[in-house]
Amino acid sequence: MNTKKDNNRITPFISFLGMALILCIHAVPCRAELYPGLQIHGFLTQGITSTSDNDFFRDSDDTLSFHFTEIGVNASWSVRSDLQLAAQILSRRAGRGSDGAPDLDYGLLDYSPISDLNRRYGVRLGRIKHPLGLYNDTRDVAFTRPGILLPQSIYFDRLRDLLLSSDGVQVYGERITPLGSFTAQLQLGYPQVDKAIEYSFFGFDAPGKMDGNPVFFGRLLYDDPSGRWRLGFTHSGARFDYEATGNDFVSDGFVYLRQYILSAQMHTDDWTFSAEYLRQPTRFRDLGPFLPQRTFPLESYYIQGVYRFAPRWDLVLRYDAIFLDRNDQDGSETTSGPEASSFARDWTIGLGWQPKPNLLFRTEMHMVDGTAWLPAQDNAAPQDQERRWKLFMFQISYRF
């Protein structure tokens, strides 16, 4: 059986980098004295989920599930002004799709030979976070997320590892001008492929093996001079090849997808408004009669407001929608499962309280119509899923 470990294409450089920083972490006092540029941080998050129907993060239907835990340690070392090393080890339990095994979230070398007050140009090598949308860079830490869950229409939790990072190279440039600041990033690398991608594409754990080819991500960001507006565009492309086994009911074939994301964010004294829109044509080819050869024009978007109504308190309001086929938004023409599995509309309200800089409490409620982003590993029988359901979440997070 194919496993995540089998599919990860971690280069010797990345492995060495991760191990070196782990050793630094285990010798913090000594290393901190020898290398003043070394910084060590960590975080611990424990969540509770409950649903009115269906399951989210293991068995949550009309009960409490504590199977949502994140423990991370990250380190960064400024070797010199133009050279930095950074890595993060994460243990994450999130339903049956994440068992809590420690993994290298990212581990990279960042070299910026051209850098001054108004510009910075460089290259990153290793396992690098994808430049995707507004939040992918900071999605791994609860303190940098606008809520317990990110908008699932764009930042699919069931494909977190695939979307988070890849092993390769990124070139980037940042320029500050009187008109505002501009950032461009281009990344090419091997993705982290595991069984979650088969559940997402096929709806089940196929007997064969799914491999990822090099994926590319490109992102442009603009920040206005006042710092109130941020605009962005992301484009990515990926192909995943399926290798069938001898008794497989899925044939040798591939899935090819492209993403186009428009992003906008506005800050005021008390509010932060965010919105993103995604188009993702997904092509299924040569996978056999059980998976017809066709293209799904996925469309999704969200609108979100975060209101800081008092010191250390915030309120999150969001509408989030995804349609696996933008031409069939009610799922009436789907042939691959229940109608509700092809869309999801989610109204979210959440509350956050940060009594101390290193302590955060959050709670939120989701009122969902559809099951498009429901974790397949936690809901093995699609015919038993309820179209309309509620998700309640509570989370406590600590960082150092």
**For position 195, what pLDDT does the model report?**
76
| 175-212 pLDDT, tens digit each | 999 999 999 999 999 998 877 787 778 777 778 888 88
Rounded to whole angstroms, the Cα distance separating 321 from 368 reads: 9
- Is the pLDDT at 130 greater than 90, yes or no? yes
Confidence of residue 2 (pLDDT cuts 50, 70, 90): very low
Contact status, residue 328 vs residue 335, Cβ threshold 8 Å: no
Name which of 76-80, 174-178, 282-286 the model is least confident about. 282-286
Buried b vs exposed e over 386-398: b needs ≥16 C-beta within 10 Å? bbebebbbbbebe
Query: Quick one: which of 280, 274, 276, 320 has its CA closest to 299?
Result: 280
Q: Per-residue pLDDT averaged across 350-363, rounded?
A: 97
Higher pLDDT, 274 or 199: 274
Q: Per-residue pLDDT averaged across 74-80, rounded?
A: 92
Distances (CA, A) of 270 to 149, 221, 275, 314, 350: 21, 23, 17, 9, 16
**For position 391, what pLDDT does the model report?**
97
> What proportion of the chain, given as a percentage, has pLDDT over 90?
61
Assign domain 4-399 to its CATH superfamily: Porin (2.40.160.10)
Query: Quick one: which of 2, 199, 3 has its CA closest to 95?
Result: 199
Q: How do the domains of the chain map onto residue ranges?
A: 4-399
Please state the pTM of the whole predicted model: 0.87
Confidence of residue 216 (pLDDT cuts 50, 70, 90): very high
Distances (CA, A) of 299 to 204, 326, 335, 395: 22, 5, 18, 30
Name which of 74-83, 111-120, 187-196 the model is least confident about. 187-196
Confidence of residue 335 (pLDDT cuts 50, 70, 90): low
Q: Per-residue pLDDT averaged across 375-393, rounded?
A: 87
- Is the pLDDT at 331 greater than 80, yes or no? no
